[in-house]
Structure 1
């Protein structure tokens, strides 16, 4: 029986601690497209004494990524589930399997090959996949996500072998609710949805953008402990304007120019309505939508459901947390910051909006806070009266005549270099996707204007970064506090190694997902992302350290699960303050958080009765 034809049976988790006859959870397992998922009515506590009941046996059990153990099925389970003859004689442990897989992965020629191999492992055995990356997460993160994910998306149609997630095509309009109504989706709690319109720094990738929802949800689990059975990646295929994809005979998506305008909005509305009706308390995470659509969609739906845009709000949350940590490490106080943001799209505007709210919380008026931001896009400094000012840019437009007294070549188009010279900023943020945009002439004066200037070059993938950390340190005489969107090794400067903080959204969104699952949050608010930023800053290794130049702003990637727990705790508490999360005692909250965290381990299996 193929994986497409197999029907899942009802299973249960049984306690073998004090009372073996007490069943502590009932689970139902159903097919997820061509793969299998465990869908739970409640998160099962990951204790070493629980066992799982399943009616699957033989090849069906081995074909289930959520349940498959490979040659780790023991003798009792091989007898019980008819696995003799299907597996070799040796019985391995999960640790042995993971060690062997790591050795084989290390022998591959490059990280892209490792990315493909890891995805194949994930489709065969999800527990093994997470056991592999749980050890030395900092080494695996660049392989399962940025920067390797950029190439994986460009080549997704060429490396795609097995369905994972859900493709909702524009041709499916009118039946989206029917598609989502299948009982196999009952246990889903977090959706990551993308239309493939603006993938990282590589643009419109159409259906190839599915690599992003898959990758993001892998990080929800690896960094935040989200049960992979509760995760659903969705690609909203509305076509593509990428001619190379449309002409590629192997392209797996809908071969049509990208749908826009009212037709696009109607399709998104049908999807959102179906999700909201199907899962009233789900977390709907938007990712890599086209810049023109991202903020508009977020603002349209955020008050009616638990939804957020990670490019806008997650980026803002981690940037705000890193800035708060930088202030503790010697940067100018928030009230004295003058911030230039190069790249005035969704991410740049989201950062400005959250930082402005932080300034207001410290006593500024909204107008005073907004005036401290200087947004620069392809048309130069964003000013009043300019054509094409977006909804997100509008609060931060500078006066039309601001450059009247400046030394500029063209007052109608004030360049980044001219803004830097006249504003004399304390902080420079890059979200432009333009590699090399920060030059020595632009950056060097910051070291003369600020004791510890802050420079966050956040564009991904690595080829699109505005400047390398080594250059930024050299140009600022080692004074700059530096953060990047992608991973960089420490830089040797003046005889010591200087850490380079990766200002990555994985410091925020896994904790947000954990908060939704454990805390019953019904809406995501800006206050929650502010709370996440403060929680992240509170974990900064630089706080209270004398030689802060050699200490990172953010905790190491290896501690992302600890970070996720702190962020989730802060987000839930803020949700309780704002009335969008149920009240709970600290003890109850801690118990809920602990119970919601999934860990990669093999539980013993018991035979369940078949279900007709």
Structure 2
């Protein structure tokens, strides 16, 4: 048998089972296959496990009770993260079973915001390799490195170069925590089997002096490779991936803004790929905005939208907004006219000479501000913009803590009955504003969604739940839809389709006091519907072979793995040999 294991179905009983040749410690040390104390007595005899485990045979439920008890005994979030990753490294079925059972509690631990602290401490808490590390010094051996993955049927890769981890900046090889965390969400949210996922970090050095001076740092000890050398390295990586995994879905994650958009543009028509910081963030933000305007009995085309920040996230949000506005019948120019960008130098306008290509696309004509009462026309502040534009939607992606201050929020609330405010930067320390403040300063009228999780807000006699614009509502379902439909490419319109599917789950559509996005307990069904919408759009665009709705639903269901223990059998030829 070429692969270490196969999932098969019994032709008589119709039940699934796992076929593997691994025995003894090799079986116990394989995180996909290890069942720990749940191996039956018969399996222990057949696979050489007798005496290697305590005598008691546990069910998965009993194991999860034991594991969760130890988890709750941890006193810091970083300890909880380390406990969960250690579980993932020894028993993935139990890991995903625990996540599924306690998702709302555990998602902030395995991903934002705690994963940020874990990435910062990566080299100090490192205990076991996961995924693939491709250092610049091995740039001529990438094919060999990918071959070391073995015969795995890899369907999804998440890759980072570690330069812009969340709002924390350059963390070098510590960025590996992000692909690992993202792929965990692919599995728990959309059922993508962990054996077909592959996290990769491109180790091209770091400009973080603290890391370079740290004797425990595990990455290459030089400053980041730039320019042509960087581009050649990325090209060599993509070419090697195409040779090794020609049908894989490749997700770019946490690349610096000067690389993220241009790499996406360079490769989006060469392979099946997307950038979650750009397109996933854009889609989940669009979904929350669509839900908010629907709750307000309005349309997206009626909105005036101000974005603070002009990096990768803003690129994706503006792109998704424009695509959605055009779908409502607006021209591209009219759609763009609904959006104002504010960066670290103030309003993005045509009178500035420091604008990058993306900003030039959205620069307001400087003549628009000629009658504005501002103290510095070359640096028009966020408050200036709010005073004169009267936005109905305010979005923050700038990682500027408390940028949405009392003056900004109260000024916005003066001109709109239900201000829509999304402080999206994470981790929590980088958030543009606290939900409790947004709600208090708007006299309880603001519709708020955040990038990081926040507790409910008490305002008067109301308990207000805060929706998290979590990309996990989008990218796992997108991946599931792409895989199930065998789509050749990923497009912006597929993300708009995903956003519309997600927005239909919004509780605020029925009750404006309810959250803009659904609770995490619905995430599997959300991912399924997102996958259906994405697959349909891929077929509409001619990027996937057409099939009936029933067949599409069947394919999606077939790819949605549920963490449960299966019976184990040896390959038939081994069983026959032993019987003989």
Residue 584 of structure 1 is matched in structure 2 by: 547
CA deviation vs aligned residue, 1:147-190 (integer Å, no higher than 9, x gap): 11010000011111110000111111122123224471540000
Matches within 5 A, 1:290-369: 290-330=256-296, 332-369=298-335
Distance 1:59 1:226 in 2: 27
Residue 140 of structure 2 is matched in structure 1 by: 174
Residue 407 of structure 1 is matched in structure 2 by: 373
TM-score by length of 1: 0.92
- Aligned pair 1:120/2:114, yes or no? no
Partners of 2:162 and 2:175 within 8 A in 1: yes
Superposition deviation, residue 247 in structure 1: 0.4
Residue 598 of structure 1 is matched in structure 2 by: 561
- Aligned pair 1:424/2:390, yes or no? yes
Residue 39 of structure 2 is matched in structure 1 by: 73
Residue 501 of structure 2 is matched in structure 1 by: 535
Residue 393 of structure 1 is matched in structure 2 by: 359
- Aligned pair 1:371/2:337, yes or no? yes
Distance 1:456 1:272 in 2: 35
Distance 1:576 1:607 in 2: 40
- Aligned pair 1:552/2:546, yes or no? no
- Aligned pair 1:573/2:539, yes or no? no
Partners of 1:458 and 1:486 within 8 A in 2: yes
Distance 2:86 2:276 in 1: 26
Partners of 1:521 and 1:572 within 8 A in 2: yes
The structure-2 alpha-carbon separation of the partners of 1:317 and 1:100, relative to structure 1 and needing over 3 Å to count, comes to same
The structure-2 alpha-carbon separation of the partners of 1:286 and 1:9, relative to structure 1 and needing over 3 Å to count, comes to closer
Comparing 188-197 and 176-185, the one that deviates more:
176-185
- Aligned pair 1:216/2:182, yes or no? yes
Matches within 5 A, 1:262-281: 262-281=228-247
CA deviation vs aligned residue, 1:21-74 (integer Å, no higher than 9, x gap): xxxxxxxxxxxxxxxxxxxxxxxxxx8x21111111111111111111111111
Distance 2:455 2:353 in 1: 41
Q: Mind listing any 5+ residue stretches in structure 2 that lack a counterpart?
A: 576-580
Comparing 230-239 and 171-180, the one that deviates more:
171-180
Residue 135 of structure 1 is matched in structure 2 by: 101
Residue 12 of structure 2 is matched in structure 1 by: 18
Partners of 1:197 and 1:240 within 8 A in 2: yes
The structure-2 alpha-carbon separation of the partners of 1:585 and 1:161, relative to structure 1 and needing over 3 Å to count, comes to same
Residue 24 of structure 1 is matched in structure 2 by: none
Matches within 5 A, 1:489-528: 489-528=455-494
Residue 236 of structure 1 is matched in structure 2 by: 202
Distance 2:349 2:441 in 1: 29
1:289 aligns with one of 248, 255, 258? 255
Comparing 93-102 and 9-18, the one that deviates more:
9-18
The structure-2 alpha-carbon separation of the partners of 1:11 and 1:315, relative to structure 1 and needing over 3 Å to count, comes to closer
Distance 1:370 1:323 in 2: 16
1:486 aligns with one of 433, 452, 468? 452
Distance 1:17 1:445 in 2: 68
The structure-2 alpha-carbon separation of the partners of 1:325 and 1:592, relative to structure 1 and needing over 3 Å to count, comes to same
Distance 2:213 2:574 in 1: 48
Secondary structure of 2:150's counterpart equals helix
Superposition deviation, residue 18 in structure 1: 2.2
1:150 aligns with one of 116, 138, 152? 116
Superposition deviation, residue 391 in structure 1: 2.6
Superposition deviation, residue 411 in structure 1: 0.7
Comparing 391-400 and 296-305, the one that deviates more:
391-400
Residue 190 of structure 1 is matched in structure 2 by: 156
The structure-2 alpha-carbon separation of the partners of 1:183 and 1:293, relative to structure 1 and needing over 3 Å to count, comes to closer
Superposition deviation, residue 562 in structure 1: 0.7
Paired positions, count: 574
The structure-2 alpha-carbon separation of the partners of 1:385 and 1:293, relative to structure 1 and needing over 3 Å to count, comes to farther
Distance 1:610 1:398 in 2: 72
- Aligned pair 1:201/2:167, yes or no? yes
Superposition deviation, residue 8 in structure 1: 7.7
Distance 1:532 1:9 in 2: 34
Q: CA RMSD in A?
A: 1.6
Partners of 2:438 and 2:446 within 8 A in 1: yes
Partners of 1:331 and 1:451 within 8 A in 2: no
Superposition deviation, residue 490 in structure 1: 1.1
Superposition deviation, residue 278 in structure 1: 2.3
Distance 2:129 2:2 in 1: 18
Comparing 330-339 and 357-366, the one that deviates more:
330-339
The structure-2 alpha-carbon separation of the partners of 1:366 and 1:11, relative to structure 1 and needing over 3 Å to count, comes to closer
Distance 1:368 1:328 in 2: 21
Superposition deviation, residue 356 in structure 1: 1.3
Comparing 395-404 and 374-383, the one that deviates more:
395-404
Residue 578 of structure 2 is matched in structure 1 by: none
Partners of 1:341 and 1:373 within 8 A in 2: yes
Distance 2:289 2:398 in 1: 19
Partners of 1:331 and 1:453 within 8 A in 2: no
The structure-2 alpha-carbon separation of the partners of 1:183 and 1:150, relative to structure 1 and needing over 3 Å to count, comes to closer
CA deviation vs aligned residue, 1:500-530 (integer Å, no higher than 9, x gap): 0101100100001111221101100011001
Partners of 1:8 and 1:56 within 8 A in 2: no
The structure-2 alpha-carbon separation of the partners of 1:394 and 1:278, relative to structure 1 and needing over 3 Å to count, comes to farther
Greater share of helix? 2
Distance 2:299 2:5 in 1: 56
Secondary structure of 1:184's counterpart equals coil
The structure-2 alpha-carbon separation of the partners of 1:183 and 1:217, relative to structure 1 and needing over 3 Å to count, comes to closer
TM-score by length of 2: 0.97
Superposition deviation, residue 333 in structure 1: 2.2
Distance 2:65 2:464 in 1: 32
Partners of 1:282 and 1:516 within 8 A in 2: no
